[in-house]
Structure 1
Amino acid sequence: MRICPHCQYEMRESFDIKIDSTGNGLKVTKEGTFGEVIGKPKVAVCPKCGEVSIYLDESDLSAIAPHKIEY
């Protein structure tokens, strides 16, 4: 569950962003022209204020943070 950083309301998750011309969405890669793909971003939207949050699934984070980070 994601909480909106602006109004503290529960965000709706698992939306996607598409590129209009191709419809293939976006990819997050490591730096470089042909960088290794880390994951496909997901989107959460706050139904109260309209804030949009782009995030990666926890499983995608293992490529950049091998150990789970506790807050």
Structure 2
Amino acid sequence: MKRICNQCNCEMVDNCSFNVEGALYGIRIKRKGKRLFSSVSEVPKAAVCPNCGSVMFYIENYEDLTK
């Protein structure tokens, strides 16, 4: 899926990773499920615009979070 920059309508470079400085644990998007131990979590990725430098965060398996 092509990601388009909201600022300049240029195609973004996706599948980039990112780190939180000073923290080794990273960032996860998490949703608690209805049953015990049924939570779903995803690691977000970043897309960067090569034209203006704008950054967009996204997750690939967003369908799992809506169930």
TM-score tier after normalising by the smaller chain length: 0.7 to 0.9
Query: How far, CA to CA, are the matches of 1:54 and 1:38 in structure 2?
Result: 15
Q: 1:39 — aligned with what?
A: 42
After superposition, residues 1-71 of structure 1 pair within 5 angstroms as 1-30=2-31, 36-57=39-60, 60-66=61-67
Higher relative contact order (CA 8 A, sep 6+): 2
Unaligned runs of 5+ in 2: 33-38
Q: Which runs of 5 or more residues in structure 1 are unaligned?
A: 67-71
TM-score normalised to the size of structure 2? 0.73
TM-score calculated relative to the size of structure 1: 0.70
Paired residue total: 61
User: Superposition RMSD on alpha carbons, in Å?
Assistant: 2.0
